[in-house]
Structure formats: C-alpha cells, structure tokens
Structure 1
Amino acid sequence: MEEIELYLEDARDTMEKALKHLNIELSKIRAGKASPSMLDGLQVEYYGMNSPIHNVASVTTPDARTIAIKPFERKMISEIEKAIRNSNLGLSPTNDGENIRLNIPALTEERRRDLVKKVKAEIEVAKVNIRNIRKDTNDGIRKLTKEGVSEDEVKKGEERVQKLTDSHIAKIDEIFAAKEKDIMVV
C-alpha cells in the first residue's frame, strides 16, 4: 500500500510540473498586450556564448503596445536586434542608439485565430503528457502485484491515478478557456 502512495505522489508532482511547463509555454504566446515575458527564451550572443536576453538587458513595457529594451552594454544593441529578427516573434526592432523598441501591433481576427490554434496545440501536448504520466504510473502500480500487493489494492491505486489525471485534465481545460478568452477579447 505504501508503494502505491509513492507512485501517486510521484505522479502528482510530475503532473504539476507538466502544468507549470504549459503555463510557461502559453506565456510566450502573446495576446496583443506587450509583456517582458514575450522575450523569455530569446537567446543573445554575448562574448561567444548564448545568454538569455534578461541577462544582457533590462526589458520593460512603458505602455500596452511597446516593449523597451535597454542593453547593459551599448555594443549589445546589434546582437539583440539580430536575435529578435531571427526569432519567430514576428517583431521588428527599432533603436535610437541606446535603446531598442518593439512595437506590438494590434492583433487581427485571423492572427487571433492562429494564436488560438497554437494554444490548442500546446494544450494537446500537455494532455498527452498527463496521459503518459498516468500510463507510466499505472504500469508501475501493476508491477507491484509481483511484490505481493493485492489486486484490489492495485485497482484502487489505478482509480486514484485516474482521478488525479481527470483533475489535471480539467485544470488544463480551464487554462485553455482563460487563454482563449484573453486572446479573442479585442
């Protein structure tokens, strides 16, 4: 019985990590408002090494449609611009010699629908991850019958895994509904 609890606790932790990862991925999909997190994951070449943009510049949002980037070193402006252009963000940087500005265009209806499709793809990946965790956990619990755990205990453990899975899938659906609303509201 104690072994089943260990499997359940591990499954719960792994499912929570999958939800955190989903939230990180969804934060990268913009909903029309400027946000410093839109640049999370953007790597800039800094002295021959790739570094996150937040390590080489301060990133702020002076208003809802603009991201301002102030490099810690002036010579980094061209590297930051190059990284932004090479990313798939679809943003055009402009600089005044000291700062870089990114103007975030208003989203068209078509672009909003494309973003919702991206969100759906991320949601589906998260659901598959949760189901894989369920499968692995159930496989582990079933193996416990060889160690003397009764079939009834294994069945109860599998039912608890299913409840855990259902609750995490429901959380994913809530996250999707909130993100879709955020994107589609003009």
Structure 2
Amino acid sequence: MQLKWVTSMQTRSFTRSSPTLAKKKKSNKKGGNKKQDAQDEENEVVEEIDTRKLLKEAENEFAKSIELYNKRVTQVKMGRANPSIFDGLQIQLANQRKAKFQDVAQTTLKGGKYLTVTVFDPHDTKNVVSAILAANLNLNPEADPNNPQLLKVQLPNSTKEWKAKQLKELKELTDDFKTAHNNKSSLANLRGRYLKQIKDVDGSKDVIRKLETDIDKLFKEYATKLADSFKSSEKTLK
C-alpha cells in the first residue's frame, strides 16, 4: 500500500496548509507481467485522507490516553477504599470450581471508613473470606451475625508505608502511560503509530517533515499534561 500527497488549501493551527493523502489499494493479482502490472496501476483505487482529520484523530487519541490515565490514578489514590479492590480475586468454590470475585459477590464503600461485601450465595461466604485474607491486603472481613451473606471490612488508617506504596504505583503508572510501547494507550505508542503512518507516505519531504513535527508537538503537549497530573496527585500522597 502506497500513500501520496494531494494538495489542498484547508487550514489548521499546526500547518499553514493541510494536504490530503491518497491511499492506493492495489490489485491482489499475483505473477503478472509488465503489461498486467501497468493495467493494475491504472486500475488502482485511490482513497483520499485529509491530513487535518488525521491530526485531529491523533489529538483525540492523545486526549483519551490522558483521560484513561486519570481514571487509573483515581483508583491508585483510593487504595484500599476502592470498591474494585477485590475484583481480581479468584474464589475457590465447591467441587474444585473457581470463579471471579465479581461473579459471587459485590463490594460497596460505606462512608469512606469500611467496605461491605455482599455474597450472592451464603454457601460461598467462607470462600470469599478466605480469598480476601489470602490476598495480603491487610484487610480483615468480618461476617454480619444477622446476615450470613454480608461482610464488613474495616479500612485501616493510611500509613507512611502505604502512601509510599501508592506513590510507587503512581510513578510506575505514569511511566507506563508515557513511554511503554507495549501499552496501546501510552503516548509513546500513539506517537509511534502515527509516525509510522506518515513514513508510508510518498510525497513532499517538506510536508512530511511538517506533519511529523505536528505529531511530536502533540506528544510533548500531552506529555506535559501527564506530568502535571502526576505532580498534582503526588502532592496528595505526601
């Protein structure tokens, strides 16, 4: 697949002109001769891609990355007060069966001081308690004497050690969203994907360089937003 520039006078803040790309879809025939190749060239289907829209799409993807990062930051800051804290647990049921925590119980936060766990089947209550204790979260579920399906989990006061653990998680999360190429939502991954698209273009080197510069500007802009969000969250954990 080959991409070519088609000149257009649309404007955008990134560049003075916004050319479009012509994406060519070649014939899938194999083993042709020169005459056939020439015929295939004539039969190519051209799809125009507006670079202004390409940049807008890239900007939207960078914005979504920051939005997802902020959601993950909220979860880290909530720590043990997060109702989703048990969602990754596997519950050992009868007959050697295993189930996800969400399939056998539901957790809610009460007043910021404790969690309540509602077990759907009273026969699974002991297994849910065992799974929570085995997770080493320093949380001790207590059964309600009047309701065998209800557990109360008192939340301990935040300690320096716990805050340090949260801060470490926050730093790792920030690095992941900035530089991890194996994270499809990271800024580095997005930058790499769009630069790869641009490298596949056959056109003016000056125009290509401008578009690459625009992508780099977006990367730096949202990397700054990521750093600002981290600094703001870091203050709350110190």
Q: In structure 1, how many angstroms separate the alpha carbons of the residues matched to 2:76 and 2:108?
A: 17
- 1:132 matched to 2:189? The reply is yes
* Structure 1 stretch displaced more, 43-52 or 114-123: 43-52
* Equivalent position to 2:100, from 48, 51, 56: 51
Bigger Rg over Cα = 2
TM-score scaled by length of structure 1:
0.78
Query: For 1:143-164, what per-residue CA distance to the aligned partner results, in whole angstroms no more than 9, with x for missing partners?
Result: 21xx3x2112211211211121
AA aligned to 2:62 is M
Q: After superposition, where does 1:148-163 map in structure 2 within 5 Å?
A: 149-163=203-217
Tell me which residue corresponds to 1:142.
199
Q: 1:114 to 1:49 in 2, by over 3 A?
A: closer
Q: Tell me, which stretches of 5 or more residues in structure 1 are unaligned? A: none
Q: In structure 1, how many angstroms separate the alpha carbons of the residues matched to 2:168 and 2:79?
A: 15
Query: For 1:32-89, what per-residue CA distance to the aligned partner results, in whole angstroms no more than 9, with x for missing partners?
Result: 6723243444454578453352x43332222222001111221221232233234353
* Structure 1 stretch displaced more, 92-101 or 63-72: 92-101
AA aligned to 1:176 is F
Q: In structure 2, how many angstroms separate the alpha carbons of the residues matched to 1:33 and 1:181?
A: 19
Tell me which residue corresponds to 1:8.
55
Q: Does the 8 Å contact 2:140/2:154 carry over to 1? A: yes
Q: In structure 2, how many angstroms separate the alpha carbons of the residues matched to 1:43 and 1:9?
A: 42
Tell me which residue corresponds to 2:70.
23
Q: Does the 8 Å contact 1:85/1:91 carry over to 2? A: yes
Q: 1:126 to 1:58 in 2, by over 3 A?
A: same
Give 3-state SS (helix, strand or coil) of 1:178's partner: helix
Give 3-state SS (helix, strand or coil) of 2:106's partner: strand
Give 3-state SS (helix, strand or coil) of 1:2's partner: strand
Q: Which has the larger share of helix?
A: 1
TM-score scaled by length of structure 2:
0.63
AA aligned to 1:50 is A
Q: Which has the larger share of strand?
A: 2
Give 3-state SS (helix, strand or coil) of 1:38's partner: coil
Give the drift of 1:106: 1.1
Q: In structure 2, how many angstroms separate the alpha carbons of the residues matched to 1:107 and 1:143?
A: 52
- 1:123 matched to 2:174? The reply is yes
Give 3-state SS (helix, strand or coil) of 1:64's partner: coil
* Equivalent position to 1:110, from 147, 157, 161: 161
AA aligned to 2:231 is A
Give 3-state SS (helix, strand or coil) of 1:85's partner: helix
RCO (CA 8 Å, sep 6+): is it higher in 1 or 2? 1
AA aligned to 1:108 is T
RMSD: 2.8
Q: In structure 2, how many angstroms separate the alpha carbons of the residues matched to 1:41 and 1:13?
A: 30
Q: In structure 2, how many angstroms separate the alpha carbons of the residues matched to 1:118 and 1:21?
A: 16
Number of residue-to-residue matches in the alignment = 180
